[in-house]
Amino acid sequence: YGKGQIFSVLLLLPVISILFLCFQVSLFNFVFLIAWALALPYAQFRPLASSICTVWTCVIIVCKMLYQLTSIDPSTFSSNCTLPGENETKVNLEELKTSVLYSGPVDPAEWVGLRKSYPLLVYLRNNLLMLAILAFEVTIYRHQEYYRCRNNLTAPVTKTIFHDITRAHLDDGLVNCVKYFINYFFYKF
């Protein structure tokens, strides 16, 4: 199938993009987890999950940018948690004093995924990178579809990288063996 075969491996890009979100655990990123947990076992839902993640990434970027406005003051919603007494908890008092919860005011927006940050581009870096990867994935899929339509080709049935390699080719040489295992990994993943 020509150039379109090479781009089949880009199915893995949405999974890689979720790894960027592991650096910031928040309620915002829970949508990505749910979307891909439902889409990975079922191939027909992957384009929908990719679209949902693209739109949700745009929403996150806009929300993070709006939170940087000077009219939003996190100290108005922040609250101080009172330190429990020694008889109220089984946790050592010294450990409680070093906890983030009791060291100062807690901003509930940080649990959602929002915080004030001065270099805004650094703060939005992971989301912008994920948006770029998702846009690249859509571009590749459109290119595959256009290439197949232009050359009167049908989409491959097996959804593998090397369509002419089967189990019978496993013992034909090292190159065919590697191709078979790449197909097997790609199919299973």
The answer on pLDDT for 60 being more than 90 is yes
Report yes or no on 88 lying in a domain: no
Backbone angles phi, psi at 77, to 5 degrees: -105, -10
Q: What is the largest CA-CA distance in the chain?
A: 77
Range of the domain at 183: 162-188
In terms of domains, do 25 and 55 share one?
yes
How many Cβ atoms sit within 10 Å of the Cβ of residue 93?
11
Q: What is the pLDDT of residues 121-158, one digit of tens each?
A: 998 988 898 888 888 888 887 888 888 899 998 877 76
Do 120 and 182 reside in the same domain of the chain?
A: no
Number of domains, the chain: 2
Residues 175 and 146 in one domain: no
Structural domain contains residue 133: yes
What are the residues whose beta carbons fall under 8 Å from the beta carbon of 121, sequence distance 6 or more?
Answer: 128
For residue 169, is it within any domain? yes
Q: Rounded to two decimals, what is the model's pTM?
A: 0.71
Q: Does 70 share its domain with 140? A: yes
3-state DSSP call for residue 156?
coil
